[in-house]
Amino acid sequence: MARSEHANQELTEVLNHLWRLDTNRLKPETDYIISPQGRAGYVAHGSNYARDRARAPLFTYVNEDKLKGIETYLHFINLLDNYETSTGVSEKVSSEELQENRLFIESMMETDVMKYAHKYLVWKGQSPSRSGQFKRQLYDIWFRLYHRDRSGGKDSCGFEHVFVGETKYGQEVTGFHNWVQFYLQEKLDHIDYKGYKARDNKNTPDEDDHVLNLQFSWNGLVKPVGGCFIGVSPEFEVALFTIIFLMSTQKMTSVVVKVDEYVLELVVYRHGGSIGTSYPKLLSSNHEDL
- Of the residues 75, 118, 177, 197, only one is catalytic, namely 177
- Rounded-to-integer distance, Cα 189 and Cα 57, Å: 9
Nearest to 34 by CA among 179, 173, 176: 179
Nearest to 179 by CA among 18, 284, 40, 28: 28
- Rounded-to-integer distance, Cα 13 and Cα 65, Å: 33
* Catalytic residue list contains 118: no
Give CB contacts under 8 A, 24+ apart, made by 276-279: 276/148, 276/158, 276/161, 277/158, 277/161, 277/162, 277/174, 277/175, 277/177, 278/158, 278/162, 278/177, 278/241, 278/244, 278/245, 279/162, 279/177, 279/226, 279/227, 279/228
- Of the residues 75, 118, 135, 161, only one is catalytic, namely 161
> Cβ-count burial of 96 within 10 angstroms (0-12 exposed, 13-18 middle, 19+ buried)?
exposed
* Catalytic residue list contains 223: yes
* Catalytic residue list contains 135: no
Catalytic residue positions? 161, 177, 223
